[in-house]
Amino acid sequence: MRFGGLTCVDKVSTVVENHELVGMIGPNGAGKTTVFNMITGVYDPTEGDIVFNGESIVPYKPYEVSAKGISRTFQNIRLFKSLSVKDNVRVSFIKNIKSKYFSSILQLGKFSREEKEIDKRIDELLEMFDLLHEKDEYASSLPYGDQRKLEIVRALATSPKLLLLDEPAAGMNPTEKVDLMNLIKKIKELFDISILLIEHDMKVVMGVCERIFVLEYGKKIADGKPEEIRNDEKVIQAYLGDTHHI
Amino acid sequence: MQVKSKLLFLSSLILIFVINLFAGSIDPYFYTVIIYIGINIILATSLNLINGYTGQFSLGHAGFMAIGGYLSIALSTYFAPFFQNTFGTGVFGEAITFIIVLLAGGTAAALVGLLVGVPSLRLKGDYLAITTLGFAEIIRVVIQNMDVIGASQGFRGVYIYNNGVKAPQMVQDLGEMSNIFYAVPKFTNFFWTFLFVAIIIYYVHNLINSTYGRGFLSVKDDEIAAESMGINTTKFKVSAFVSGAFFAGIAGVLYGHFNLYLNPEDFNFLKSVEIVVMVILGGMGSMIGVIIAAVLLTILPEFLRSVSEYRMIIYALLLIIMMLTRPQGLFGFKIKRKKL
Ligand SMILES: Nc1ncnc2c1ncn2[C@@H]1O[C@H](COP(=O)(O)OP(=O)(O)O)[C@@H](O)[C@H]1O
Ligand SMILES: [Mg+2]
């Protein structure tokens, strides 16, 4: 991926298997978020290919990528600020509902039943992340950590097969981080999905991820099981002198 | 909740019908103001769907109103003999004729809305404001030059001569030939106007409060996030824009068949601005607020007739005072935000 003359993600290749929880780590500016933006169609890669379920998803727009079963959260929280917590989640159900424009106005057919079903599922998801008591608040009035969790709930509500989490634990304290990682692991089992998550802090991902790959200056420098990454020369070098210890 | 809104809608229809029975005894001046209030509520509420709920800035609502208005009065005059022969001149015949021209005016405005909206709404940014502004001016200039609908003189009806010649003015060389003048028929009354007021309120309310309709607000808040959650933002923007244009067309039809005369100047830039002011003053995205603002801004100029040249200055001052004291609009909600 190039922006003007700047190559910011270069020949990164990896595979996320079904039902795998993979961590992507690397220093700030390594190109991790850019990888997410390429996968989800926010940026079109200038070269290379992205294949999901055997199909190239490069030509697709973000909403089409979402329809294929990939959802994401944003590092710089992008909740819908004039919507309540539950309506933030509600929006994710739109792509799968039967009651579109006119049947919603005329409240025809399955409309009422569908709305009730969605209300129920929103409550279930919010409950799981301990956000139910805040469901009628504006999303922007939630504490920071809860906003991050709401981003995950909103992404999950699109019923993805692959979930991309961009620094979901950013800004949380160490115990909150561990709790969240355990929750993410549980979510993976419960919803039977694959997860690719970005995390700045290596210690946090080591515990939960089945596989980790490391980006530095837009290049992949390592890819393997947590134990392998921990002992990898290049990774140690990249992180040496950094405040992050393995 | 849903049963309630249907009941409310039906009972308001009955109420409108009953009030209409007594409309004859209302003072004509007040009656006119009431009809204009209704038309402005339709205009402001439909623009609110585009500007308020979906966050797209359209500045050309008067253009769509002009399309609906002119097309419909051209139909109901040029084709008056046809309509009268087919449906008769009784209450029912007139109602059927009016429904036909209403739908024609609304649909024409919606189709033009589609043509204008698709290219500009696919782009990110404020292209819509510029395109719609230009579009409305083009419509006005085109009408000013179309002789069949009276050009810059305005249009109040059509002379149909025995030999089939039709023209909005007397034709000199056909002076001796007998003709019939078909004036724009006075179809619009309290019932029709407030029928559509009820319809647009029901329409926008149900849409916005449904799961599907929340998509419009998500587009306003954050397009990238909305797209990533599976929302086809272009489709939402276009559908809001096109249905807004449809109702602006309807408002034009109602206006034309009440005023019985249209002039291109009725649909100039200031008319578009006036509707935008109603939406901003009411608090973008607040239905009640926008309705109240539409009522106030219809009545206000009636009190200020003596200073009517300064109307735009007063609007501008109102907006400035608003922005300083209540940026969320008179009745809009304020989003509380915790410091991060
Ligand atoms: N739209 C863009 N235009 C130009 N440069 C960009 C753009 N997006 C990201 N970059 C650059 O790409 C590099 C990688 O950024 P990013 O993917 O956000 O890193 P990370 O998420 O690993 O911290 C940075 O140097 C950033 O400035
Ligand atoms: Mg990043």
Q: Which residue has the higher pLDDT, A133 or A172?
A: A133
Q: Tell me the percentage of chain B whose pLDDT exceeds 90.
A: 74
Q: What pLDDT does B335 receive?
A: 46
Average pLDDT, chain A: 88
Q: What pLDDT does A5 receive?
A: 62
* A82:B337 CB<8 A: no
Kind plus residue range of the DSSP H or E element containing B127: helix B127-144
Chain A: residue whose CA lies nearest to B230: A63
Contacts of B226 in chain A (CB under 8 A): 80, 91
Residues 6+ apart with CB under 8 A from A236: A246
Interval B222-240: pLDDT, tens: 999 999 999 999 999 999 9
Structural domains of chain B ordered from first start: 2-303+311-325 (1.10.3470)
Q: What pLDDT does A242 receive?
A: 52
Cα B74 to Cα A116, B78, B121: the distances in Å are 48, 6, 31
Closest chain A C-alpha to B31 CA, distance in angstroms: 31
Q: Which residue has the higher pLDDT, B316 or A192?
A: A192
Contacts of A68 in chain B (CB under 8 A): none
Q: What pLDDT does B332 receive?
A: 62
Q: What pLDDT does A246 receive?
A: 45
Q: Is the pLDDT of residue B44 over 50?
A: yes
Q: What pLDDT does B201 receive?
A: 96
Q: What pLDDT does B340 receive?
A: 38
C-beta of A74 in contact with ligand 1 (< 6 A):
no
What confidence tier does B337 reach under pLDDT thresholds 50, 70, 90? very low
Distance A66 CA to ligand 1 centre (A): 22
Interval A215-241: pLDDT, tens: 888 888 888 888 888 887 777 777 654
Chain B: residue whose CA lies nearest to A101: B212
Interval A102-115: pLDDT, tens: 989 998 878 999 99
Interval A1-37: pLDDT, tens: 677 666 667 777 777 777 889 999 888 888 899 999 9
Closest chain A C-alpha to B105 CA, distance in angstroms: 20
Q: What pLDDT does B256 receive?
A: 98
Residue in the structure block whose two tokens are 């209409």 = B20
β partners of residue B180: B160
Round to whole Å and give the CA distance between B171 and B177: 10
Q: Is the pLDDT of residue B199 over 60?
A: yes
pTM attached to this predicted model: 0.92
Distance B109 CA to ligand 1 centre (A): 44
Closest chain A C-alpha to B1 CA, distance in angstroms: 10
Kind plus residue range of the DSSP H or E element containing A213: strand A211-216
- Residue A12: phi and psi, rounded to 5, are -85, 120
β partners of residue B181: B159
Contacts of B213 in chain A (CB under 8 A): 104
What residues of chain B have any CB closer than 8 angstroms to a CB in chain A?
A: 2, 5-6, 202-203, 206-207, 210-215, 217-218, 220-222, 224-233, 239, 285, 335-338, 340
Give the strand pairing for A211-216 and A219-224: antiparallel
Among B52-66, B123-137, B181-195, which is the least confidently predicted range? B123-137
Question: Vertex B114, ends A99 and B43: CA angle to 5°?
Answer: 80
Q: What pLDDT does B333 receive?
A: 56
The sign of the torsion formed by the CA atoms of A29, A35, A40, A46 equals positive
Query: Hey, what amino acid is at B117?
Result: G
| Ligand whose nearest atom lies closest to the CA of A218 | 1
Q: Are A157 and B214 in contact (CB under 8 A)?
A: no
Q: Is B285 helix (H, G, I), strand (E, B) or coil?
A: coil
β partners of residue B262: B155
Pick from A168, A206, A214: nearest CA to A187: A168
β partners of residue A212: A23, A224
C-beta of A31 in contact with ligand 1 (< 6 A):
yes
